[in-house]
């Protein structure tokens, strides 16, 4: 008999990997957010990973206190996490260091385009729809200085210099299967000085040891850009990092569930007499992990969870029963 065990498939089996949930604190979580968080938790715990929390508070126009309320709501439905939640605004030094690393390698350029400039510019041949047309990509130092002067007091945004001729990238998604998406010279730091989502997410996931990203499938189109950035920064990327993009929740109108659909947050549902236990039952039922009305706990759902049996279609929330 061989006296060795098979090599761990991912870092998680060695006990060091982590999944995460990373809400933007723009208000209370609604049922769609809670369902995504529950799935991220189930995927992480079912694979023996740690589960980490990150509040993506880089955008200033935030509802102060929303982050705390979101954490309270996640705890109320039985989601737990390891360690203290990470605040993205406290991670600026690492974000800037990553931009400097890319800049030293010649992979960053200044962009003075406004949204209107980008829409008005002719798109590059074979470029994916909506891709940055490359207006500022090949400027000389002198041209750049003039352009910078011309937009004062605005400051230029910073863009990634994507590899020449690479317009798309494919990855394996544990929910969607093989998935392809576009790549362009996306923004790393905006003209208002705020670090862009794609850069922050990649740097923070790597620093936190995240090797499993489960999130809403509205973010699947961002993943190729994030993988490109991981590779350019020498950070772990697929297959070492696993991605799973889960179906969104639809509201009664058939569009993506939103706050305007009414009773969609735990606080609103509580006002209608629907407690967090009942919300968990709804979520469990929607995932095929419980029967309508059957009391459940997240621990019980974890015993039943089988990623392969996850419903692939969006779930429609018609309102409280």
- Residue 123 sits in the site that holds ligand GLU (CB under 6 A): no
- 212 or 298: whose CB is closer to ligand GLU? 212
- Percent helix, percent strand, percent coil in the chain, to nearest 5: 40, 15, 45
C-alpha dihedral over 294, 295, 298, 303, to 10 degrees? -50
- Residue 219 sits in the site that holds ligand GLU (CB under 6 A): yes
- 148 or 256: whose CB is closer to ligand GLU? 256
Q: Which of 13, 24, 101, 276 is close enough to bind ligand GLU by CB under 6 A?
A: 24
- Residue 196 sits in the site that holds ligand GLU (CB under 6 A): no
The two structure tokens encoding residue 249: 């929740």
Site for ligand GLU in 124-183 (CB under 6 A): none
To ligand GLU, the closest distance from the beta carbon of 135 in angstroms equals: 28
Q: How far apart are CA 73 and CA 90, in angstroms?
A: 23
Stretch that binds ligand GLU, among 21-29, 63-71, 145-153, 275-283 (CB under 6 A): 21-29
The string of DSSP codes covering 238-299 is TTSSEEEEEPPEE-TTSSBP-GGGSS-BHHHHHHTT--HHHHHHHHHHHTTSS-TT----HH
Residues in contact with ligand GLU, counted by CB under 6 A, come to a total of 7
Binding residues for L-glutamate: 20-24, 56, 197, 215
Strand partners, 261: none
Q: Which of 28, 56, 57, 242 is close enough to bind ligand GLU by CB under 6 A?
A: 56
Matching residue, tokens 């000085």: 193
Stretch that binds ligand GLU, among 17-25, 59-67, 154-162, 170-178 (CB under 6 A): 17-25
- Residue 22 sits in the site that holds ligand GLU (CB under 6 A): yes
Burial 257-281 (b: 16+ CB within 10 A, else e): beeebebbbbebbeeeebebebbbb
Binding site for ligand GLU (CB under 6 A): 22-24, 56, 201, 215, 219
């Amino acid at each position: 008999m061989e006296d060795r065990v098979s090599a761990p498939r991912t870092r998680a089996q060695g006990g060091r990997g982590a999944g995460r949930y990373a809400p933007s604190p723009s208000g209370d979580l609604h049922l769609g957010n809670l369902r995504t968080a529950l799935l991220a938790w189930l995927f992480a715990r079912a694979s023996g990973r740690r589960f980490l929390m990150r509040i993506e508070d880089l955008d200033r126009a935030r509802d102060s206190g929303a982050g705390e309320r979101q954490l309270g709501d996640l705890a109320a439905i039985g989601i737990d996490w390891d360690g203290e939640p990470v605040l993205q605004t406290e991670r600026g030094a690492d974000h800037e260091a990553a931009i400097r690393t890319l800049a030293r390698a010649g992979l960053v350029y200044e962009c003075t385009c406004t949204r209107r400039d980008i829409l008005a510019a002719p798109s590059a041949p074979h470029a994916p729809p909506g891709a940055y047309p490359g207006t500022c990509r090949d400027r000389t130092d002198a041209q750049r200085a003039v352009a910078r002067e011309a937009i004062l007091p605005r400051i230029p945004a910073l863009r990634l210099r994507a590899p020449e001729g690479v317009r798309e990238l494919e990855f394996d998604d544990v929910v969607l299967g093989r998935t392809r998406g576009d790549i362009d010279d996306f923004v790393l730091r905006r003209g208002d000085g705020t670090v862009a989502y794609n850069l922050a997410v990649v740097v923070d996931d790597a620093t936190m040891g995240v090797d499993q990203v489960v999130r809403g499938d509205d973010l699947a189109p961002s993943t190729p850009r994030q993988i490109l950035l991981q590779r350019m920064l020498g950070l772990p990327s697929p297959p070492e990092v696993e991605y799973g993009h889960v179906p969104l929740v639809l509201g009664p109108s058939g569009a993506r569930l939103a706050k305007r659909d009414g009773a969609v947050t735990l606080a609103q549902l509580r006002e209608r007499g629907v407690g967090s236990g009942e919300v968990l039952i709804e979520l469990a039922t929607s995932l095929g992990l419980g029967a309508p009305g059957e009391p459940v706990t997240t621990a019980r759902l974890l015993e039943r969870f089988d990623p392969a049996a996850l419903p692939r279609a969006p779930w429609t929330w018609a309102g409280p029963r």
